[in-house]
Amino acid sequence: MGFRLGSRLAQIVPTLVLVSMLVFGLQQLMPGDPALALAGEQSGDPQVVAQIRQELWLDRALPLQYLHWVGNLLRGNLGYSWHTRQPVAQLIAQKLPVTAQLGVMAFVIAVLIGVPTGVLAAVKRNGPLDYLANAIGLAGLSMPTFWLGIMLILLVSVDLGWLPPSGYVPLTQDFGRSLATTIMPAFVLGNAIAAILMRHTRSAMLLTLDQDYVRTARAKGLPEWRVILRHALRNALIPVVTLGALELGTLLSGAVLTEQVFSIPGFGKMVVDAVFDRDYPVVQGVVLVTALLFIVLNLLADVLYVLINPRLRRA
């Protein structure tokens, strides 16, 4: 276990370096000149544009621009937004908690719906409950998130008046109001992931229920619920944990469409605005933080493997 975690930790630095090089290189292909965009009304003045290029290191060669940016990163400086002039780290610190709250709520909803439904579908294989669960899962995968969000706003907010249609209130400001403003977008995000978790949990449970140790547990006269939960589900959850870690990372990296529909000022909306404004430092900072989140969540998945299945400790 220690060797596995050590090897994963050793992969963090080269992974982040590769991600930074890809992001820096690909963003050069974006259309438009950021210096001209930042010059605004004075874009016709060559001196103003030249001064902006010099200040932002845009007049240097690409390798020098990259090394300058990496040097700032090593000093803990993610740079400054070209559009708002605020530190990128400060912008990320403001937006990440919003998306983190939304993502965690969506993930909890997905797990509470997807895993039990997958277990029930596997236990009742080829029965009415199995077919119903698969139909609901297929509908969840096929349904566009923006369409579901709009329909929920029309039904729950406009027609019934149960929840606010949009906006966001921080948890620290008003706990109840914060949950009210995020429960619908969290359900929209969790709906698709619940369908994915359900299908993978069902497949893993079907494989596990056919194993010899499950038949042995039943032959010993153990209650069926104990056989399913302790012997079958515990081993079936290993591939589901991997999938869950990746899906949680996707949620935390920013749900662009859902945040746009519900006017949630989170990570996704910030990235979209930064791309349209050609605010390269913000895009770079967000991508690096997202990559780091995925790496940390994969490390967490490795730890959960061992907690779920102690036999892996000897691997």
In the chain, where are the structural domains located?
A: 2-74, 97-314
Domain 97-314 has CATH 3.40.50.720: no
Q: Are 115 and 197 in contact (CB under 8 A)?
A: yes
Q: Are 245 and 297 in contact (CB under 8 A)?
A: yes
Task: Show Cβ contacts of residue 103 under 8 Å, excluding neighbours closer than 6 positions.
Answer: 189, 248, 251, 252, 255
Q: Are 182 and 161 in contact (CB under 8 A)?
A: no
Q: Are 125 and 205 in contact (CB under 8 A)?
A: no
DSSP annotation string for 25-42: HHHTTSSS-HHHHHHGGG
* Distance from C-alpha of 185 to C-alpha of 168, rounded to nearest angstrom: 11
**Tens place of pLDDT for every residue, the chain, 315 residues?**
554 566 666 777 788 788 888 877 766 666 666 676 666 655 566 777 777 777 777 777 778 888 888 888 888 788 888 778 788 888 888 888 888 888 889 989 988 988 899 888 888 888 888 888 888 888 877 888 888 888 889 988 888 888 888 888 888 888 888 888 889 999 988 888 888 888 888 888 888 888 887 788 778 877 877 888 777 887 787 778 777 877 877 777 657 778 888 888 888 778 888 877 778 788 888 888 888 888 788 777 777 776 766 665 555
